[in-house]
A and B are shown apart, each in its own frame.
Chain A
């Protein structure tokens, strides 16, 4: 199976340039996109080098990123996970983009990355772009996936939430195209393309099918932005018609946020453009317990980057040993799943969830008094008590 899918998945560079349809025929563009994409379930991870060990790019970022990623490395070493990290530091305060381009090159080389959030100083001039955004668009990480699940050990107002949020990650309001045509009048462009909308909708439906989910809800504001969000909605409807087993509906974004805080259980899988994704994912993260609990993943056709779902820098709690490592640890488990190291992923995930739900060792953000290192120690203890992974398991 691996060989045939490897043949199908030719590097993108050999395929004709698709997309911005001068051809004008949506069916042609769609068909081309369909043949170009790799089935997520048959995706072949980058080959392990040097004796079965994977190399993953690690970008510490700012704030709590470095300390949390140190804990991840410590845990991986303790658990003998066959992953080596290539650390690339990105200095967010300098104006040159060399650092982030080095990081992008490293990710192209390794195929997978784990990162902390890189701070963006919004008082710098517009030429100084957001490094995180640059990374996402350069690597074409078009899908941001976030699985919000209530954890039994965490006190929240709403229980038993289980929502998957899929957010278009490269265009929309984050196109960074702004200009001041007349002094005092600024225009910011929001770009929606059929190609990307079809792509993200297809990703959402395929994921829903893979995970056995019943319903996909598209979140939009097409009553006001008739052309832009109208196009997005239309693309979702087109893709939905190809998945008759999955129910499709849509909801306007302001109503969505209102429903999320009162009746969150009505949602299953949600798909949306960039900015609404930002709002909805933060609302959902808040509903299940906060930014320290939810991992996020950014997938592209060739690369995958894992981080915390709400992408916080956490400057105010940096280096105080109070940050919640759960989100970053679960993100590293998502990364291990991506590398097909499922046994290690399940082992670490199980240990983290045991600490959270059974041992109930919580950090300050979820109402406890534990420190970051105490939580990590507890996770390691849980892993140790589980016994070594035998060769049959690995």
Chain B
């Protein structure tokens, strides 16, 4: 577009490097974005749990303010401390920004062979309630109840997001995953809401499928699935199942959408403390999440360029990190992608 080429608007993104291999893969992503001349201005912030007034745990104010202003975040892996007295950082972030939708597009990576080819689906998981509400009680010694909470609002919100995502990303169908035969009221409510929202999106095909049927069919023929929307627990299990189909958490991108327009994209693997600081990490997951972020921001051209460079590098198999089957360093892998991006100019 003629007018746009004169005005380069730099968008600010809050970058949370994270722990373990977080800093090095964040540096890798920043380098690749620089090589691609992506109009992104990074604002690095750290998140640790601090006790605010009133005794409630919260993230540092600088981090919150930065995110509220920029609305877009990219996050590396955060370690979950055991017995630290505060909830996990991921949970804290989720609560702070009301990150209600977890989106994981799972696309087979050409060049990284798994028994499953041609996978191209998206799992959209409700991320605030459901089985992970954390409400548990001991009724009598030896009998425990855990409460699964399903609300009309949250179900409506996630269903709307799923259909909008499908429309904005040219996906043909949305499938609601449930177990309403057993959990009649809770999953029944979720399903009803999905059906209601589907009425407003007649251009998208809507189907419903039992969780067990989805699992059964997913491992036999994952190509039959497109966009899947589901409550928290099923989403957790299915999104990891789909990540396993394409090669694991080291190559899977993920995005969390919150209310008020906030979106945080993250790599979902662990902090890998054993290889931290040794230049051995694989930045693919964080890079693909950053690509997802670019698409969310509307910068499709840049996104395609970086994604292609990354996939070409993997397909070529000459410079691969250890987990992908090669023996190159993280910096070498990053350098190769940068080179390819620059060659595309």
Q: Please classify the interface of chain A as helix (H, G, I), strand (E, B), loop, or mixed, using the class held by over half of its residues.
A: mixed
Q: Given the known A-B contacts A20-B140, A174-B182, A186-B189, are A279 and B212 also in contact in the complex, defined by CB atoms under 8 Å? A: yes
Task: From the candidates A187, A262, A275, name the one contacting B149 in the complex (CB within 8 A).
Answer: A187
B181/A120 in contact, CB under 8 A = yes
What's the Cα separation between A29 and B140 when bound, in Å? 13
A228/B146 in contact, CB under 8 A = yes
Q: Given the known A-B contacts A185-B152, A283-B241, A290-B220, are A193 and B215 also in contact in the complex, defined by CB atoms under 8 Å? A: no
A182's nearest neighbour on chain B, judged by CB, is: B151
Say yes or no for A70: interface residue by CB 8 A criterion: no
| CB 8 Å contact bits of A231-268 with B (1 = contact, 0 = none) | 10000000000000000000001110111111000000
B140/A186 in contact, CB under 8 A = no
Say yes or no for B50: interface residue by CB 8 A criterion: no
| CB 8 Å contact bits of B226-259 with A (1 = contact, 0 = none) | 0000000100111111011101110000000000
B147/A282 in contact, CB under 8 A = no
B244/A188 in contact, CB under 8 A = no
A21's nearest neighbour on chain B, judged by CB, is: B142
B131/A125 in contact, CB under 8 A = no
| CB 8 Å contact bits of B96-120 with A (1 = contact, 0 = none) | 0000000000000000001110000
Task: From the candidates A22, A176, A312, name the one contacting B140 in the complex (CB within 8 A).
Answer: A22
Say yes or no for B7: interface residue by CB 8 A criterion: no
B140/A192 in contact, CB under 8 A = no
A227/B152 in contact, CB under 8 A = no
CB distance from B112 to the nearest CB of A (A): 12
Say yes or no for A291: interface residue by CB 8 A criterion: yes
Q: Which residues in B have their C-beta under 8 angstroms from that of A128? A: 184
Q: Which residues in B have their C-beta under 8 angstroms from that of A229? A: 146
Say yes or no for B141: interface residue by CB 8 A criterion: yes
A262/B248 in contact, CB under 8 A = yes
Which parts of A171-213 form the interface with B (CB within 8 Å)?
173-174, 176, 178-180, 184-195
What's the Cα separation between A195 and B144 when bound, in Å? 11
Task: From the candidates B116, B151, B245, B248, name the one contacting A185 in the complex (CB within 8 A).
Answer: B151
A179/B185 in contact, CB under 8 A = yes
A227/B144 in contact, CB under 8 A = yes
B243/A178 in contact, CB under 8 A = no
Task: From the candidates B140, B143, B245, name the one contacting A261 in the complex (CB within 8 A).
Answer: B245
CB distance from B184 to the nearest CB of A (A): 4
A186/B149 in contact, CB under 8 A = yes
B148/A173 in contact, CB under 8 A = yes
What's the Cα separation between A108 and B119 when bound, in Å? 48
A157/B146 in contact, CB under 8 A = no
Say yes or no for B217: interface residue by CB 8 A criterion: yes
B215/A228 in contact, CB under 8 A = no
B236's nearest neighbour on chain A, judged by CB, is: A254
B213/A282 in contact, CB under 8 A = yes
Which parts of A80-135 form the interface with B (CB within 8 Å)?
120, 122, 124-126, 128, 130, 133
Q: Given the known A-B contacts A178-B185, A291-B216, are A227 and B142 also in contact in the complex, defined by CB atoms under 8 Å? A: no
B147/A188 in contact, CB under 8 A = yes
B239's nearest neighbour on chain A, judged by CB, is: A254
What's the Cα separation between A127 and B240 when bound, in Å? 34
| CB 8 Å contact bits of A41-85 with B (1 = contact, 0 = none) | 000000000000000000000000000000000000000000000
Q: Which residues in A have their C-beta under 8 angstroms from that of B153? A: 184
Say yes or no for A37: interface residue by CB 8 A criterion: no
A274's nearest neighbour on chain B, judged by CB, is: B182
Say yes or no for B188: interface residue by CB 8 A criterion: yes
Q: Which residues in A have their C-beta under 8 angstroms from that of B237? A: 253-254, 257, 276, 279
Say yes or no for B4: interface residue by CB 8 A criterion: no
A225/B185 in contact, CB under 8 A = no
Say yes or no for B203: interface residue by CB 8 A criterion: no
B215's nearest neighbour on chain A, judged by CB, is: A282
Tally B residues with Cβ within 8 Å of A: 58
B185/A262 in contact, CB under 8 A = no
Say yes or no for B180: interface residue by CB 8 A criterion: yes
| CB 8 Å contact bits of B178-193 with A (1 = contact, 0 = none) | 1111111111110100
Q: Which residues in A have their C-beta under 8 angstroms from that of B236? A: 221, 253-254
A189's nearest neighbour on chain B, judged by CB, is: B145
B183/A178 in contact, CB under 8 A = yes
Q: Which residues in B have their C-beta under 8 angstroms from that of A282? A: 212-213, 215-216
What's the Cα separation between A325 and B174 when bound, in Å? 32
CB distance from A148 to the nearest CB of B (A): 12
A126/B144 in contact, CB under 8 A = no
Task: From the candidates B136, B151, B186, B239, name the one contacting A188 in the complex (CB within 8 A).
Answer: B186
A26's nearest neighbour on chain B, judged by CB, is: B142
A310/B212 in contact, CB under 8 A = yes
Say yes or no for A370: interface residue by CB 8 A criterion: no
Q: Given the known A-B contacts A157-B115, A228-B136, are A286 and B220 also in contact in the complex, defined by CB atoms under 8 Å? A: yes
Residue from A20, A186, A276 whose CB has the most chain B CB atoms within 10 Å: A186
A122/B216 in contact, CB under 8 A = no
A126/B219 in contact, CB under 8 A = no
A260/B188 in contact, CB under 8 A = no
What's the Cα separation between A283 and B116 when bound, in Å? 14
Say yes or no for A226: interface residue by CB 8 A criterion: yes
Q: Which residues in B have their C-beta under 8 angstroms from that of A387? A: none
CB distance from A366 to the nearest CB of B (A): 10
Q: Given the known A-B contacts A226-B136, A279-B212, A282-B215, are A24 and B245 also in contact in the complex, defined by CB atoms under 8 Å? A: no
B216/A283 in contact, CB under 8 A = yes
Q: Which residues in B have their C-beta under 8 angstroms from that of A253? A: 236-237
B151/A194 in contact, CB under 8 A = no
A178/B186 in contact, CB under 8 A = yes
Which parts of B171-207 form the interface with A (CB within 8 Å)?
178-189, 191
| CB 8 Å contact bits of A337-371 with B (1 = contact, 0 = none) | 00000000000000000000000000000000000
CB distance from A161 to the nearest CB of B (A): 11
What's the Cα separation between A310 and B243 when bound, in Å? 23
A-B contact pairs, 28 of them (CB 8 A): A24-B140, A26-B142, A122-B188, A122-B191, A184-B153, A186-B186, A188-B186, A190-B145, A193-B142, A194-B141, A194-B142, A195-B142, A224-B132, A224-B134, A225-B146, A226-B136, A227-B146, A229-B146, A254-B237, A254-B239, A258-B243, A261-B244, A262-B115, A262-B247, A275-B233, A278-B212, A282-B213, A283-B241
Q: Nearest 9 A-B pairs (CB), nearest first? A: A258-B244, A286-B219, A194-B142, A184-B152, A254-B240, A157-B115, A122-B180, A228-B146, A227-B136
Residues of chain A touching chain B, judged by Cβ–Cβ distance below 8 Å, are 20-22, 24, 26, 29, 120, 122, 124-126, 128, 130, 133, 157-158, 173-174, 176, 178-180, 184-195, 221, 224-229, 231, 253-255, 257-262, 275-276, 278-279, 281-283, 285-287, 290-291, 310-312
If A21-B141, A221-B236, A282-B212 are given as contacts, then 5 extra A-B residue pairs at C-beta distance below 8 Å, sorted by A number, are A128-B184, A185-B150, A189-B148, A257-B238, A261-B116
